[in-house]
Structure 1
Amino acid sequence: MTAVANSVFTAAQFNQFVRDNLNETGPAKATTAGSHFAGTGLNSIAERLTDTDLVATSQTTTSTSYTDLGTVGPTVTATTGPYAIVFLYNSNVNSTAVSSLMSFEVSGASSIPAADNQSIGIAGTAGSREGAAFLLDTLTPGSNTFRCKYRVGSGTGTYADRRITVFPL
């Protein structure tokens, strides 16, 4: 609408050109405290929620392929677009001088197996605390579940304070 001097500004015009436009802003679309918005296309946004999960229990594995521990996870389910940033953190040790790794798999709308190139871990018997962030850029938009998985090169890996945080985009 283009305003013209001395013309009548009706309630219908106000609702269409002022109120309805304000209802398309981020603050008007926000429904949850702590949420953020991600672009989903031309002139389109979606509200996203960052979520985290922690398993503090110390548990072990001797598996040389990615597996669950006695307490599965940690696990986060989030609505994503094609992108998400995944943060991992844990404290671990290995009984021999080889690797203990923590990775994550994605299931749901996407299917991505746990892999060494998206893992954190140690090589050696000295205990360590580590963390890293991974940008995923090939997700299928929708509901995706991110679950931590574990493996060792050999020996026994002990994992504690396992955390995953997903920042969906």
Structure 2
Amino acid sequence: MAWTAPMTFVANSPLTAAQLNTHLRDNFLETAPAKATEQGGYFVTDTAHRIVERVGRRQTISTEEATTSTSYDDLATQGPTVTVQTGELALALWSCEMRSSNSEPTTCRVTVDVTGDTTIAGDDIRALTNSTGAAGRHQSTHAVFFDDLNPGENTWTMKYRTSSGEATFQRRRLIVLPY
């Protein structure tokens, strides 16, 4: 159903049930209160005169895990992973505590893959990056606005890599706010 521009009422003209249903009832069914189905949902425009409810999702994995992979990969506990219904846009935020077991500086990187109705491989361009030595632990948060999505159900999964040696990651958090 879509919102309909209300008709112009004319004095002394009788209204039909069909007119009242189209211009009053059906338009009220296109309002945010009528479409709200989930606590915490919010509304975005999908097309002209049409709103849709979107719901952000989050996941946290606290477990400390390490990798020696120099290409993006999963840790022993995959994720965090978040699936949401999107339009063409979404804001993804991820954070992680990172450290290297090397005595020399190592670059730890965390990115996200997008799968589902959209496929985007995680890369260094969208990655959260930290250069640290063995003594340094660093907690960072990164935000990326995705404007290249296919509307539908899309899944974000955090991926990890190191430039050399072993990198350790913990307190991994992912939040996705779809538009």
**TM-score category, normalised to shorter length:** over 0.9
What's the offset of the Cα at 1:14? 3.7
AA aligned to 2:74 is: D
Match status 1:78 vs 2:78: no
Kindly indicate whether the alpha-carbon contact (under 8 Å) linking 2:84 and 2:153 is maintained by their aligned counterparts in 1.
yes
Comparing 11-20 with 78-87, greater Cα deviation is found at 11-20
| Corresponding residue number in structure 1 for 2:151 | 141
* Counterparts of 2:76 and 2:54, CA distance in 1: 31
1:39 to 28, 39, 45: 45
- Unaligned residue ranges in structure 1 (runs of 5+): none
Moved more, 4-13 or 64-73: 4-13
Structure 2 CA distance for partners of 1:168 and 1:129, relative to 1, 3 Å: same
Give 1:141 deviation, angstroms: 1.0
Residue in structure 2 matched with residue 20 of structure 1 by the alignment: 26
Unpaired runs of at least 5, structure 2: 1-6
How many pairs align? 169
Cα drift, residue 44 of structure 1: 2.1
TM-score (norm 2): 0.87
Which TM-score applies when normalising by structure 1?
A: 0.92
Letter in 2 for 1:60: A
Please say which of residues 51-60 and 26-35 is displaced more in the overlay: 26-35
2:3 is aligned to none
* Aligned counterparts, 1:2-17, within 5 A: 2-5=8-11, 13-17=19-23
Residue 129 of structure 1 is matched in structure 2 by: 139
Q: State, as a whole percentage, how many aligned pairs show the same letter.
A: 39
Query: How far off is 1:8 after superposition?
Result: 5.1
